[in-house]
């Protein structure tokens, strides 16, 4: 997030709620919220303006209010993550990148993308609670792989393709491109994160 965007937003809320935050509080907010994009921060401001009701005990939005306002708090983000998986339109064969290492680690915990991609509503009904709990735990460390390989890439990794012809290799490159699933709030956008030539040649 841009520093000027953050300061303007905090000043806007301060004027709205008649509460001036001291420098220490503003710094604490910045250290937590700076990792979010300008777009996410604007979403926070819009939702806070519509939904936050100040009280004598809480006259100004707290950090959890900001996070809830863009679906970034614990369970809220977890449920959006599950929706991103279910609505990504990606099969078990393609590699995927949700742009969230903690989510990747969680999916691997449950068997990897080829397994989770095949879960239906009955599977999610049984496993959603455990999935959310694992995701929340993984978010504390935010560690995980950059992307999740699909069956096509995993299958190729187990074969000696030194004798494959160039057409087969180029086809493999195209199929192995991780599809980037960008998700925020209720919006899911599908695109490619790598061009074919950026994928390492396996010859």
pLDDT string in tens for the chain (203-residue length):
888 999 999 999 999 999 888 899 999 999 988 888 888 888 889 888 888 898 988 899 998 888 777 766 566 778 888 888 988 888 898 889 988 898 999 999 999 999 999 999 999 999 999 998 898 888 877 789 999 988 887 776 666 555 555 555 555 555 556 777 776 655 555 555 444 344 344 33
Picking from 69, 95, 115, the residue at the C-terminal end of a domain is 69
Q: Domain tally for the chain? A: 2
Residue 203 lies in a domain: no
- Say yes or no: 114 and 180 in one domain: yes
- Say yes or no: 92 and 178 in one domain: yes
Report the candidate in 56, 70, 44 with the shortest Cα–Cα distance to residue 17.
56
Report the candidate in 4, 143, 136, 125 with the shortest Cα–Cα distance to residue 72.
136
- Say yes or no: 98 and 182 in one domain: yes
Residue 192, helix vs strand vs coil:
strand
- Say yes or no: 85 and 130 in one domain: yes
Residue 94 lies in a domain: yes
CB neighbourhood size of 154 (10 A): 16
- Say yes or no: 152 and 136 in one domain: yes
Range of the domain at 95: 74-198
Residue 28 lies in a domain: yes
Determine the pLDDT at residue 105. 94
Picking from 69, 84, 99, the residue at the C-terminal end of a domain is 69
Contacts of residues 107-115 at CB distance under 8 Å and 24 or more positions apart, as own/partner, are 107/148, 108/144, 108/145, 108/148, 109/134, 109/138, 110/134, 112/148, 112/149, 113/148, 113/149, 113/150, 114/150, 114/151, 114/154
- Say yes or no: 60 and 108 in one domain: no
Contacts of residues 137-144 at CB distance under 8 Å and 24 or more positions apart, as own/partner, are 138/102, 138/103, 138/105, 138/106, 138/109, 139/74, 139/77, 139/102, 141/102, 142/101, 142/102, 143/101, 143/102, 143/105, 144/100, 144/101, 144/102, 144/103, 144/104, 144/105, 144/106, 144/108
- For 140-183, what is each residue's pLDDT tens digit? 777 899 999 888 877 766 665 555 555 555 555 555 567 777 76
Stated as kind and residue range, the H or E segment containing 159 is: none
- Say yes or no: 192 and 115 in one domain: yes
Are 162 and 201 within 8 A, CB to CB?
no
Residue 135 lies in a domain: yes
CB neighbourhood size of 15 (10 A): 10
Residue 19 lies in a domain: yes
Residue 37 lies in a domain: yes
- Say yes or no: 63 and 91 in one domain: no
CA 3 → CA 18, 24, 36, 60, distances in Å? 22, 16, 11, 20
- Say yes or no: 102 and 175 in one domain: yes
- Say yes or no: 34 and 95 in one domain: no
Residue 193 lies in a domain: yes
- Say yes or no: 49 and 87 in one domain: no
Query: How, if at all, do strands 96-97 and 179-184 pair?
Result: parallel
Picking from 69, 95, 120, the residue at the C-terminal end of a domain is 69
- Say yes or no: 60 and 159 in one domain: no
């Amino acid at each position: 997030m841009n520093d000027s965007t953050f300061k303007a937003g905090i000043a806007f809320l301060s004027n709205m709620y008649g509460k001036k935050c001291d420098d220490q509080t503003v710094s604490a907010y910045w250290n937590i919220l700076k990792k979010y994009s300008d777009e996410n921060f604007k979403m926070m401001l819009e939702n806070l303006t519509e939904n936050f009701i100040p009280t004598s005990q809480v006259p100004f939005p707290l950090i959890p209010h900001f996070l809830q306002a863009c679906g970034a708090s614990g369970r809220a983000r977890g449920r959006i993550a599950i929706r991103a998986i279910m609505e990504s339109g990606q099969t078990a064969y393609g590699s995927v990148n949700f742009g969230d290492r903690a989510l990747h680690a969680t999916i691997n915990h449950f068997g990897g993308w080829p397994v989770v991609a095949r879960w239906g509503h009955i599977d999610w009904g049984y496993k959603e609670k455990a999935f959310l709990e694992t995701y929340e735990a993984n978010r504390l460390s935010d560690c995980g792989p950059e992307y999740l390989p699909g069956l096509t890439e995993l299958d190729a990794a187990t074969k000696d393709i030194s004798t494959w012809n160039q057409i087969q290799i180029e086809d493999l490159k195209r199929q192995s491109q991780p599809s980037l699933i960008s998700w925020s709030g209720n919006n899911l956008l599908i695109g490619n994160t790598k061009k074919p030539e950026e994928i390492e040649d396996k010859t």
